Amino acid sequence: MTAMTPTTGPAALPASLFVDSAVRAEIEQFLYFEVELLDDRRFSEWLSLCADDIRYWMPMRRNRLTRDRDKENSGPDELSHLNETRQSLGWRVAQLESNMHWSEAPPSRTRHLVTNVRVAATETPDEYAVRSNFLCYRNRLEEDVDIWAGERGDVLRRVGVRQWQVVRRTILLDQSVVLSPNLSVLF
């Protein structure tokens, strides 16, 4: 593989993206299945797709001067929008299902679009590094509309036949100021 890496000419596709096409297809189906569960508000089933050791993290974005561009995203020691464990994702799901979580009761209408799926192999045979772009549209009550765009960087683990779990998820929301009254949806 390395011998084939071109050294001149147009930028080459990263070699790591050349994974088995059946695996790539299954991972894409998993990503669509996952957001279908969210949009259908089957939150407990969605939670079962989160590994016990999941880290679900949404750093903050901010405007930095050019020389500090590498500090655009908040670091692990800083505040973040989300920094979730399996336990706290469980709280969020229980809250969504409580019917007393007023941001989502009456329920919102959400539509998650997942695109630009890039699947790369990792050093662990059953784990893949998957990047995808998302657009999530939320409409609630009469005329409240929120749109969130961003990228997700995931580590997905095969745990059985047609069974996968999210082990790591880093969500880059493309907003420095959150432009919605809350972040009550899952990404």
Partner 1 sequence: MISNETLRSYVQWEDGLISPHIFSSEDVWQLEQERVFGRSWLFLAHDSQIPRPGDFFSTYMGADPVMIVRQSDGSVAAFLNACRHRGMKVCRGDEGNSKAFTCTYHGWSYDTAGRLIGMPAADDTYGPDFDRSRWGLVPVNRLEHYQGFWFGSFDESIVDLETSLGPFKIHMDTFLDSMPGGVEFVGGTQRAKMSGNWKIAAEQFAGDSYHAFQSHVSDFTVSTPPELLDTRSFQGEHGFNGFHHFGTVQGHGAGFNDARSDQRYYAIGAGTDVVDRWQDRVEREVRERLGDEAADTYRGTILHGTLFPNLSFLGTPTALRVWHPRGPNEMEMYSWVYVDKDAPPEVKERMKWVAQQHFGPQGLAEQDDGENFAAIAGNLKRRGAQTHKIMLNYRMGLGDTNDTHEPATGGRHAGMNEMPQRLFYRRWLRMMTEDGTGEAA
Check residue 181 for interaction with partner 1 (CB under 8 A): yes
- Going by C-alpha positions, the residue among 102, 105, 152, 100 that lies closest to residue 131 is 152
Total binding residues toward partner 1, as defined by CB under 8 A: 38
Answer yes or no whether residue 36 interacts with partner 1 by CB under 8 A.
Answer: no
Residue number with CB closer to partner 1 (25 or 145): 145
Task: Indicate whether 80 belongs to the interface with partner 1 (CB under 8 A).
Answer: yes
Contact indicator for 30, 48 with CB cutoff of 8 Å: no
Cβ 102 to partner 1, closest distance in Å?
5
Measured from the CB atom, is 14 or 181 closer to partner 1?
A: 181
The bridge status of strand 127-140 relative to strand 144-160 is antiparallel
Residue 127, C-beta contacts closer than 8 angstroms, at least 6 positions apart: 155, 156, 157, 158, 167
CB 178 within 8 A of CB 63: no
Instruction: Please report, as ranges, the residues that interact with partner 1 according to CB under 8 A.
Output: 58, 60, 62-65, 68, 71, 74-75, 77-83, 88, 91-92, 94-95, 98, 100-103, 141, 144, 176-184
